[in-house]
Chains A and B, each alone.
Chain A
Amino acid sequence: MNPRTSIGSLTWCAALLALAGVLMLLAASHGRHTDVASHAPETSGSPDARFVAMDVFVDSGSKTLAAYQIEITSQDAPGQTLLSGVEGGGHPAFEAPPRYDAQALHPQDNQPCRIIIAAFDVGHDLPRGKTRVARLHMQYRGPLDSTPQLVARVMASATEGGEKIDAVATLTTSAPGAEH
């Protein structure tokens, strides 16, 4: 069996536990890389609620990327941008949809909602450099010329050996024919 497909069949808890195991090898959160999506989003339909796809990239430089956890926060008003689906990335190692943290997405006590996604792969064909690791599907309410204002931060990332990576996360809007 392909190790990637077997990972895809793990449960959410198992995945989180495994990811936690990888990330425990790292120092405290070192995510310092941010990017605000700046491209015009692909939109359709009613201007007051349209759907936008946003690609999530991680640049691991010369290191292989085996695990990541990314936090994406919205600068928009509450309810303006709503996550409506999480898709995998372009590299085979991360083509399965990443897990998202439900508690972060639905916080209590009026805290701002966050999107935290995480995935790992322990296969041999791991990516280096800038890799599309996920695609987020969002419902966005706002003027047609506006875009969701999202900030991405790498919370943790590692090689297959558990080595910490200073990776950078970026976001761009996405549409068919503009594959990255």
Chain B
Amino acid sequence: MRGQQTWKVWIKASGLVALCAAAAAAIVSCSSDQHGALYVASERPEYNQLRADANYVGYSDDPQTLYFGRTEESDQTGTMQLGELRSASPSAPSRAMAKPGGFAKREEPRQIAVGPRFDEELWVIERGPRDTRYLTIDSNDDRPGCGSLIVRRPDESDAKRVVPVPLEHTDVTARVTGYVSTVNVTQTFQNPFSEKIEAVYVFPLPEDAAVNDFLMTIGSRTIRGVIRERNEARAIYENARRQGKVASLLSQERPNIFTQTVANIEPGKRIDVTITYFNTLAYRDGAFEFVFPMVVGPRFNPPSSGRDGIGAVAREDRGASGQKTDVTYLRPNERSGHDIAITLDIDAGMEIEDVRGVTHAVNVRRDGSSRARVALNASDSIPNRDFVVRYNVAGSVTKNAMVIQPDPRNSGWDYFTLMLVPPEQLDRLERRPMEMVFLLDCSGSMNGRPIRQAKDAAIRVLRQLRPSDTFAIIRFAAAPSIFRDRPVEATSRNVREAIEFVEGLESEGGTYMLDGVRAALNFPQGRWRDADGERDRTRFVCFMTDGFIGNEAEVMTELREHLGETRIFSFGVGTSTNRYLLDGVARIGRGAVAYLDPRDDASEIMERFFDRVSHAALADVRLESHGVEIADVYPRRLPDLYAGRPVIVSGRIRSGSRGELSIVGEAGGRRMSLAVLTRAAERVATQSGLDAVWARMKIRELSESALAGVDSEENASEILRVALAHNLMSRQTSFVAVDSWSQTAGDHGVSVGVPVPVPDGVRYETTVNER
């Protein structure tokens, strides 16, 4: 039997022009009886107008959702945004009735649609105190299978409702030795519901993370997961789930996005899953950078890109996007109890000059001159943006730039990684006139601080161009648009007009990045003349985006096929950028990548960028060996080296080799060479995890070759072989762990997603799809 229940409704009226133009907020209380009739009464007389204007109420096909508000048939915008009330009871009546004299009854509820005029509207609803005399609805609104109720008082913007989720805590312990990090990530799943569940959590890791260990802990027992071919692992997991076995499965959706599923978590029970990965730290502009991503930003999937994308949906809508993987998001007025702790131990092998948390409050403890411990401050433990720590070391990074790991299997070939450091002479070589193409993401996810920062960055570079340079500006969102139809000279007038154009850009709509990239690559190219004749200008594309798309492969394929002599420098803007895309675009585009966190000074970063492109790059880079045998070096095609931007390569080296390696290339028409010490030298360090790093780089090479359609079937087979041999996560392999020893009671329960907050600075309303 359903009882009587009282609801309170707060309406923030910024966009409700027709409804209550003068009111900043209004309160209405509604009640429904056991027949589903709706009664409305204003608690405050000054809002009677609101009640009088409202003319619509009803349930949609979803009986848990109640809509009410006002609609204007003559209004050009059509259906108006209405309030939404979600019942906790799946047995709610299918239709509500209006109280005579107050509301007009509508037999067919209107579909909610947010028109451009009303996208600021916000109806926020809270269920009032229950009348226990009548109420029989289950008090647990967020139990699996139930609707949800959202609470936010207009006058209490910080009072967020806590949504119970099956992921309680993430603990990250990282150790950096030299420039190789070993990271253990422990996810603690706990079932807060009254029935058994399967937890599904989509989460990020660094795009170069070589995940090669997986542990599942149930009470005092720990089971090491086994790497298997992806479909085989999935089949084992599903069998275990159906049979009531506790099991977990780790699958890769993108090189930087993974899905963790844990089956048969009994009520109140806890299961820990620990993932171990290795990766190398980037050295950018004088500092090493440790990055741990915490949340997947909401991706946009163009309709034409198929169903292999990453959907962004409301927390109760998992599976609604039609994409293979959905990330579920908490609404702005919600939070989960999930928090994160991070501890980073740095052993730099040389004096550390400075350690700082770029994105979070951290506690730093120095242990001698070359060691430091960095811990995330507990006051900053909400996982809604990348965790970035930078540290500088004294002297040249060429020291210890090569590290070696003996092959555990004694194959005769060891593993090495090598940091290719650009020759210092590059600083002294002047550049030729350039063509700078600004490619700016103006989609909805860039709204707010990110688009402001991208504008500032672009303007900074525009002001540094010389009159002999040319430039173009392309913005993309739903469709690309341009500043002038061909590159123009960077005269003071053109620059001034361009700055006005940039300042006028607004962010809205979907991220049709592929169109923007095509526009940049196909833009008419300018030429310049010197004593030797006329030639094409060197084109640099300055690509600014948060990277929140699900069709990364299409974009990278386009670049790989049509790059030509263009160089692409990507700039990740925001707190949780898609580093897989940004790093990949820069790598394929033979440029470099930089990240603009909101706390960063955009001017400073762009000046470094401009300084970088203002000097010749070391091109046609190759390794020459002298008395050393090396093989299987990745990336196969060594990238150009820009001043201040070393590049890491990985390969095999004959065990016991003595001799020397040289980095050789050309810059400004001159051949340059830089010697690298190998094992015979004292400073070459040994390091574990390099086999995993090497295998991961090989897999990346194979994956990117497959983008261009190069023997894709053969590549897939080779990726599988390498991943299985090295116990490594990949798109072809997954980790599975099953506890076959014990048995849970009952069936496998329901599947529950772990909703996450949208990244700091990203607007939920413009990025997440609500049904």
Interface residues of A (CB under 8 A from B): 11-14, 16-17, 20, 42, 44-46, 49-53, 82-88, 96-100, 102-103, 105-106, 108, 135, 137-139, 174-176
Q: Are B213 and A12 in contact, with the CB atoms below 8 A?
A: yes
Bound Cα distance A87, B239 (Å): 19
Of B623-631, B704-712, B723-731, which binds chain A? B723-731
Q: Which of B227, B245, B689 contacts A51 (CB 8 A)?
A: B245
Asked if B468 is an interface residue, CB under 8 A from chain A, the answer is: no
Bound Cα distance A31, B32 (Å): 76
Q: Are A51 and B224 in contact, with the CB atoms below 8 A?
A: no
Taking CB atoms, residues of chain A closer than 8 Å to B736 are 84-85
Taking CB atoms, residues of chain A closer than 8 Å to B221 are 87-88
Q: Which of A45, A103, A139, A176 contacts B741 (CB 8 A)?
A: A176
Residue on A nearest B224 in the bound complex, by CB: A97
Task: Pick from A12, A17, A52, A176 the residue with the most CB of B within 10 Å.
Answer: A12
Given A11-B276, A17-B688, A106-B227: 18 more A-B contacts, CB < 8 Å = A11-B182, A13-B688, A44-B243, A46-B242, A53-B740, A53-B741, A82-B236, A85-B737, A88-B222, A97-B215, A97-B222, A100-B226, A105-B227, A135-B741, A137-B737, A137-B741, A139-B236, A174-B741
Interface residue SS majority, chain A = mixed
Bound Cα distance A14, B406 (Å): 10
Task: Pick from B226, B245, B276 the residue with the most CB of A within 10 Å.
Answer: B226
Asked if B212 is an interface residue, CB under 8 A from chain A, the answer is: yes
Bound Cα distance A108, B726 (Å): 13
Q: Which of B182, B212, B689, B743 contacts A44 (CB 8 A)?
A: B743
Q: Are B738 and A86 in contact, with the CB atoms below 8 A?
A: no
Show 14 A/B contacts (Cβ-Cβ < 8 Å), sorted by A: A12-B213, A13-B408, A20-B408, A44-B244, A84-B736, A84-B740, A85-B739, A87-B223, A96-B222, A103-B409, A105-B724, A106-B724, A137-B738, A175-B741
Q: Are A137 and B739 in contact, with the CB atoms below 8 A?
A: yes
Q: Are A51 and B740 in contact, with the CB atoms below 8 A?
A: yes
Residue on B nearest A105 in the bound complex, by CB: B226
Q: Are B408 and A86 in contact, with the CB atoms below 8 A?
A: no
Bound Cα distance A49, B221 (Å): 24
Taking CB atoms, residues of chain B closer than 8 Å to A99 are 224
Taking CB atoms, residues of chain A closer than 8 Å to B225 are 85
Q: Which of A84, A87, A174, A175 contacts B222 (CB 8 A)?
A: A87
Q: Are A137 and B688 in contact, with the CB atoms below 8 A?
A: no
Taking CB atoms, residues of chain B closer than 8 Å to A175 are 741
Asked if B742 is an interface residue, CB under 8 A from chain A, the answer is: yes
Bound Cα distance A42, B213 (Å): 27
Task: Pick from B232, B242, B739, B740 the residue with the most CB of A within 10 Å.
Answer: B740
Minimum CB–CB distance for A28 against chain B, Å: 15
Bound Cα distance A85, B245 (Å): 12
Q: Are B688 and A11 in contact, with the CB atoms below 8 A?
A: yes
Residue on A nearest B238 in the bound complex, by CB: A49
Residue on A nearest B225 in the bound complex, by CB: A85
Taking CB atoms, residues of chain B closer than 8 Å to A105 are 226-227, 724
Minimum CB–CB distance for A155 against chain B, Å: 14
Q: Are B232 and A176 in contact, with the CB atoms below 8 A?
A: no
Q: Are B689 and A84 in contact, with the CB atoms below 8 A?
A: no
For window 231-253 of chain B, which residues contact chain A by CB distance below 8 Å?
232, 236, 239-240, 242-245, 247
Interface residue SS majority, chain B = mixed
Q: Are B224 and A85 in contact, with the CB atoms below 8 A?
A: yes
Q: Are A50 and B243 in contact, with the CB atoms below 8 A?
A: yes
Q: Are B738 and A12 in contact, with the CB atoms below 8 A?
A: no
Asked if B216 is an interface residue, CB under 8 A from chain A, the answer is: yes
Minimum CB–CB distance for B738 against chain A, Å: 4
Bound Cα distance A46, B226 (Å): 22
Bound Cα distance A50, B727 (Å): 25
Taking CB atoms, residues of chain A closer than 8 Å to B215 are 97
Q: Are A17 and B406 in contact, with the CB atoms below 8 A?
A: yes
Minimum CB–CB distance for A97 against chain B, Å: 4
Taking CB atoms, residues of chain A closer than 8 Å to B409 are 103
Bound Cα distance A26, B740 (Å): 35
Q: Which of B242, B243, B738, B742 contacts A176 (CB 8 A)?
A: B742
Minimum CB–CB distance for A16 against chain B, Å: 4
Q: Are B739 and A106 in contact, with the CB atoms below 8 A?
A: no
Bound Cα distance A137, B660 (Å): 48
Q: Are A45 and B239 in contact, with the CB atoms below 8 A?
A: yes
Minimum CB–CB distance for A153 against chain B, Å: 19
Bound Cα distance A87, B242 (Å): 22
Q: Are B244 and A102 in contact, with the CB atoms below 8 A?
A: no
Taking CB atoms, residues of chain A closer than 8 Å to B244 are 44-45
Minimum CB–CB distance for B1 against chain A, Å: 39
Taking CB atoms, residues of chain B closer than 8 Å to A82 are 228, 232, 236
For B20-39 the 0/1 string (1 means CB < 8 A from A) is 00000000000000000000
A137-B740, A139-B236, A174-B741 are known contacts. Are A85 and B243 too (CB-CB below 8 A)? no
Asked if B721 is an interface residue, CB under 8 A from chain A, the answer is: yes
Minimum CB–CB distance for A169 against chain B, Å: 19
Q: Which of A49, A100, A103, A139 contacts B224 (CB 8 A)?
A: A100
Task: Pick from B222, B228, B689, B726 the residue with the most CB of A within 10 Å.
Answer: B222
For B305-332 the 0/1 string (1 means CB < 8 A from A) is 0000000000000000000000000000
Asked if B198 is an interface residue, CB under 8 A from chain A, the answer is: no
Q: Are A103 and B688 in contact, with the CB atoms below 8 A?
A: no
Residue on B nearest A96 in the bound complex, by CB: B222
Minimum CB–CB distance for B695 against chain A, Å: 11
